A and B are shown apart, each in its own frame.
Chain A
Amino acid sequence: MEPLQIPPVNLILLAPLLTVVGWASALLLVDVFLIPEGKKKLTGYLAIAGLLVAGLVGLPLWNVSGSTFSGMLVLDRYSLSLTWIFVIVGALSIAMALDYLPRHGIEQGEFYPLIMFAVAGMILLAQGTDLIVLFLGIEALSITLYILTGFAYPRLTSEEAAMKYLVLGAFAAGFFVYGIALVYGATGTTSLAGIAEFLGRQTLVAEDQTLLLAGAGMVLIAFSFKTALVPFHMWTPDVYEGSPTPVAAFMSVGTKGAALAALLRVLAFAFEGVQAYWLPVLAALAAITMVVGNLGALGQTNVKRMLAYSSIGHAGYILLGIMVASERGAEAFLFYLLAYALTNLGAFGVVIALEQQGESVWSIEDFAGLYQRRPMLAVAMALFMFSLAGVPPTAGFMAKFFIFTAAYEGGLGWLALVGVITSAIAAYFYLRVVVKMFMQEPAREVQPELNRGLNADIIIAGVATLLIGLVPTPFIFLAQQSLVALGG
């Protein structure tokens, strides 16, 4: 019997990923054995520290690129930039949760390591270059989120949300695996490079490749489920409403961002040769996602549901950047993701501040007259709403500007037009919140709860939203630099 050959593994290339996973595993033990009951906030701080360390570990890797584990994982600037975005998202979500959990009586130390595991899944999605690795990344992320969604266990809505998310997520996973199987059947490989090579080798006649196309379609459906593209979005409002608010915030930017990042790699890299087939499908998806997401938000009086529909709409905008799949599109995608992540986390932070103990209504009426009671909070929320609506000089405006420009240059002018029109529609429901805050009398007594973690979250998000909007150049430069070796 021949001896086993373990392939050379370059662990440096996955240093951030290893840091997050290792830290989370250690934190689980530390949490159980060293941190006394009632001081679980310490676990949260340690988790934030771990995520920041993982981000720092990534810094020296900026000029490194390469693939390891038999080409299953790749490290390039694209994945590194995404890693940083995900680390920020994770840290801010934990900061939001620090006081939210005890206030709602659902504090358990496991919450924080679980967020870290979810971030690890996201990083895996950014780095994976093999369909099976991507599947595992999506599952690692989803399984953690099923748990986190149901974390507010005594609240029935939380349980319901977790159940809905689990059932639909399981469907999506089934589609994904089925799709991978069909793609493997057609091409004999699951690696993105292998698929690209297969497609490059032969001139594709659609009639001969129905297996491949069906597989690619199934994979696309799975991604659409995870990123909540219309018509696979039904679960989103219910799940966001039911899950603990910090988790909803994390999901609205984290899952979406990671899955879209992986989708970009899959489409631009593996299925580039069949662009003629997926482009119309994705264009239609993006168009109805933008329209349905923004129209759905119009009628909502529940702020959490409104933000859920708004996140559906934003997924449509982000999709524009992915479709262009050129360097310009990927840049716009990264920039949009960063801007949207910070803005949305900030908006959810304000929602958490206004969330009253033991209540599960997030009525827009609670925002009425906020300016008189907490002027700074109202100004911050107004900033986030303006940014989500895409009003200058906020980050949202620059991001939308880039994405629409990229779409227009990529020959998708009509989609950019749909985007502009739906953004105009969206302004109505974002600005409605602002009007309520500044021009109306409070309908009932709401005591905003602010604390250190939440304050930090809102301030960081607010400053970043303004900064990206006012001085976008360094961030654009960063996004451009990130794409030097996309695909690798």
Chain B
Amino acid sequence: MTLVIQLIFGLVAALIIGAAMMVVLVRNVIHAALWLIACFFGVGALYLLLQAEFLAVVQVLIYVGAISILILFAIMLTRQVTGEGVRQLVGGWRLWLTVAISALLFAVVIVPTVASQQWNVPPPLGPEGAPEPLAGPAELGRGFVSEFLLQFEVAGVLLTVALIGAIVVAYEERARRRRVLTLAEEHELRKRAAASDQPAGD
């Protein structure tokens, strides 16, 4: 059983890392976004392996469902869609030097952490001495209205501010452009134009 699980874990991990690599390696931005979706799916599968079903569903709903679509929309609405002909900022030996330095810096952090942390920590125990229940929707909901009430409410304020900001930015842009007509107004205009055309045509 554990062998099967480890096999699945290996496959999922390979999928995540491979997809994440492809996100930064492919030239075409849309392809990168699609690889990102694959990566998100892998993370969702990882949550399933950890028996956090709710998180897995949320991961798929929010990241795969909403965020990826947003990214794709954003790419489609910007002018340079593919980014095929974009010049790379660093190339040749400098690129490899950059890669080496980044890898080295990352290793400085990650190697000692992975090597010396005691990983076989027992899962935290709940108040009754039994292993703490894994976070399902009920526990999460309970957490939001009890222990993490403040965070929940502050997050609400935060989102409001972000929405206001979006409106401020978007409104400004619209004010600079020509005003966009509503359908009704357009209809009205067309009718009036047709009416004024009539006598001129006679």
Contact = CB atoms under 8 A, between A and B. Distances in A.
Interface of A: 4-7, 9, 21, 25, 28, 69-70, 72-73, 108, 110, 113-114, 117, 120, 124, 130, 132-133, 136-137, 139-140, 143-144, 146-147, 150-151, 153-154, 186, 188, 207-208, 210-211, 214, 217
B189 interface: no
Contacts of A132: 148, 151
A120 B153 CA distance: 13
Contacts of B118: 208
A11 to B, nearest CB: 11
Contacts of B161: 114, 117, 140, 143-144, 147
A7 B172 contact: no
B145 A114 contact: no
Q: Sorted from nearest, which 3 A-B pairs have the closest CB atoms?
A: A147-B165, A69-B150, A153-B172
Nearest to A120: B157
A143 B146 contact: no
B171 to A, nearest CB: 8
A25 B173 CA distance: 24
A154 B109 contact: no
Given A4-B146, A143-B158, A114 B151 contact: no
B164 A72 contact: no
A21 B155 CA distance: 13
B173 A153 contact: yes
Interface string B74-113: 0000000000000000000000000000000000010011
Nearest to A132: B151
Contacts of A69: 149-150
Contact of B157 (A21, A186, A211): A21
A73 B169 contact: no
B4 to A, nearest CB: 27
Given A140-B161, A153-B169, A153-B173, 11 more contacts: A4-B146, A5-B146, A7-B147, A7-B149, A25-B160, A73-B150, A110-B164, A130-B151, A133-B154, A136-B155, A214-B109
B64 to A, nearest CB: 20
A4 B145 CA distance: 8
B168 interface: yes
A173 to B, nearest CB: 12
B180 to A, nearest CB: 18
Interface string B159-183: 0111011011101110010000000
Contacts of A9: 149
B117 interface: yes
Main secondary structure of the interface of B (DSSP, over half): helix
B198 interface: no
B154 A151 contact: no
A7 B172 CA distance: 43
A211 B116 CA distance: 9
16 contacts: A6-B146, A6-B149, A70-B146, A108-B172, A114-B161, A117-B161, A136-B151, A137-B154, A140-B154, A143-B165, A147-B161, A147-B164, A147-B165, A147-B168, A151-B168, A153-B172
Nearest to B155: A136
Contacts of A113: 164
B149 A70 contact: yes
B187 interface: no
Contacts of A73: 150
Contacts of A5: 146
A139 B112 CA distance: 30
A139 B146 contact: no
A7 B164 contact: no
B172 to A, nearest CB: 5
Contacts of B169: 147, 150, 153
A147 B166 CA distance: 8
Interface centre among B158, B162, B171, B176 (most CB of A within 10 A): B158
A72 B151 contact: yes
Given A6-B145, A207-B116, A208-B118, A136 B172 contact: no
B127 interface: no
A210 B142 CA distance: 32
Interface in B11-56: none
Nearest to B150: A69
A217 B110 CA distance: 12
Contact of A210 (B113, B154, B157): B113
A143 B165 CA distance: 8
Given A70-B147, A132-B151, A214 B113 contact: yes
Contacts of A151: 168
